[in-house]
């Protein structure tokens, strides 16, 4: 074999190796940041952030579109500044820094950080309003979206918002409100992960994790007028009634999500209109169950 050809092949192999390891290092660095966080009060986006990155979307949708790289960097620097100011004991300046960050990127990490710092400053009503206003802004956009990709991302954003509201209720020790809102938050997580994890595990494995969960354990002090076993049973019975629809959504996701073994670009193009419309409608129908499950668990578990 020609010596020059062998040298050429070796150069190509080395170049590919270096590119792969550089990319792998960047991914591991990002994962480390998401797992560890800047500090204990940083709102971690968890699996949802990893899910977006796997789709090639580095940042959370800020509901008006993706921020520019420059704006995202400015937001990140301002949030770090807010963290430093908070550690120095200057919450007012810290919150102002977060407000400036939100002007660059109205993202869930900035919104929650502001709400959390307001709570630390004992501005409880403002803290709740900060998160709830964001939910009221995102929810109608989700409801009016007719596109699978946008609806899927907005559903994940709504899940994170609900999780943030639950954290605020725990922080204020509002056990009655927490008892009411917790089932809907966990149910919304189930609906989202039915989509997000459709490529990584079987439906039964994913679904059984939720039917086997005693959600009352997520509240250190369940509201005194409630029965824990009835509370858990109500949640389990409700999601069992939704099992068939959730499984249909799971199957549709495996067809629509790039990276799945069942995803075929040509088949997707052919089927996309019907499947996209049906799956998006099913996603929204399941989302509306959030209010019902809160009412069901709350009413049926009173002593």
124: in domain: no
How confident is the prediction for the chain on average, in pLDDT? 78
80 pLDDT tier (thresholds 50, 70, 90): very high
The whole domain housing 267 covers 152-303
211 pLDDT tier (thresholds 50, 70, 90): very high
User: Which pTM was predicted?
Assistant: 0.76
Q: How far apart are CA 129 and CA 43, in angstroms?
A: 17
Q: How far apart are CA 102 and CA 72, in angstroms?
A: 10
Q: How far apart are CA 79 and CA 82, in angstroms?
A: 5
Asked if residue 14 lies in contact with residue 56, where contact means CB atoms within 8 angstroms, the answer is no
71: in domain: no
The average pLDDT across 193-214 equals 88
Q: How many residues does the chain have?
A: 303
- The SS3 of residue 140 is helix
Q: How far apart are CA 158 and CA 163, in angstroms?
A: 9
Asked if residue 199 lies in contact with residue 260, where contact means CB atoms within 8 angstroms, the answer is yes
* Comparison of pLDDT for 93 and 36, the residue scoring more: 93
Contacts for 284 with CB less than 8 Å, ≥ 6 apart: 142, 143, 151
Which of 1-15, 119-133, 275-289 comes out lowest in average pLDDT?
1-15
Residue 227: CB atoms within 10 A of its CB come to 15
39: in domain: no
100: in domain: no
Q: How far apart are CA 50 and CA 56, in angstroms?
A: 10
Number of structural domains, the chain?
1
- The SS3 of residue 42 is coil
6: in domain: no
226 beta partners: 302
Asked if residue 115 lies in contact with residue 131, where contact means CB atoms within 8 angstroms, the answer is yes
Q: Return the half-sphere exposure (C-beta side, CA atoms, 13 A cut-off) of residue 32.
A: 6
* Comparison of pLDDT for 48 and 202, the residue scoring more: 202
Of the segments 183-187, 260-264, 278-282, which one has the largest average pLDDT value?
183-187
- 121 burial via Cβ count (<10 Å: 0-12, 13-18, 19+): middle
Residue 124: CB atoms within 10 A of its CB come to 14
97: in domain: no
Q: Which position has the token pair 């639950």?
A: 166
pLDDT above 80 for 49: no
Q: How far apart are CA 253 and CA 131, in angstroms?
A: 29
Which of 45-54, 154-163, 285-294 comes out lowest in average pLDDT?
45-54
Q: How far apart are CA 245 and CA 225, in angstroms?
A: 33
Q: Return the half-sphere exposure (C-beta side, CA atoms, 13 A cut-off) of residue 72.
A: 13
């Amino acid at each position: 074999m020609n010596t020059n050809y062998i040298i050429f092949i070796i150069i190509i192999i080395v170049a590919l190796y270096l590119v792969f390891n550089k990319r792998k290092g960047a991914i591991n660095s990002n994962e480390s940041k998401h797992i560890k966080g800047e500090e204990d009060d940083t709102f971690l986006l968890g699996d949802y952030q990893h899910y977006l990155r796997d789709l090639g979307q580095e940042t959370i949708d800020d509901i008006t579109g993706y921020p520019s790289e420059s704006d995202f960097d400015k937001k990140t620097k301002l949030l770090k500044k807010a963290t430093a100011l908070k550690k120095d004991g200057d919450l007012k300046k810290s919150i102002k820094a977060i407000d400036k960050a939100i002007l660059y990127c109205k993202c869930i990490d900035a919104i929650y950080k502001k709400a959390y710092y307001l709570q630390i400053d004992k501005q409880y009503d403002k803290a709740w309003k900060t998160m709830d206003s964001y939910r009221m802004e995102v929810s109608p956009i989700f409801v009016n979206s007719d596109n699978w990709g946008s609806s899927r991302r907005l559903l994940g954003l709504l899940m994170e918002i609900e999780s943030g509201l639950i954290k605020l209720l725990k922080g204020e020790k509002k056990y009655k409100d927490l008892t009411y809102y917790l089932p809907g938050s966990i149910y919304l997580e189930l609906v989202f992960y039915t989509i997000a994890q459709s490529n990584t595990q079987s439906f039964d494995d994913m679904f059984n994790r939720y039917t086997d969960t005693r959600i009352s354990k997520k509240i250190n002090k369940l509201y005194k007028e409630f029965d824990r076993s009835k509370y858990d049973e109500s949640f389990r019975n409700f999601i069992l009634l939704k099992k068939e629809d959730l499984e249909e959504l799971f199957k549709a996701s495996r067809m629509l999500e790039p990276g799945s073994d069942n995803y075929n670009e040509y088949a997707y193009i052919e089927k996309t209109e019907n499947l996209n419309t049906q799956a998006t409608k099913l996603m929204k129908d399941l989302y509306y169950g959030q209010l019902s499950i809160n009412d069901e668990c709350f009413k049926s578990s009173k002593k």
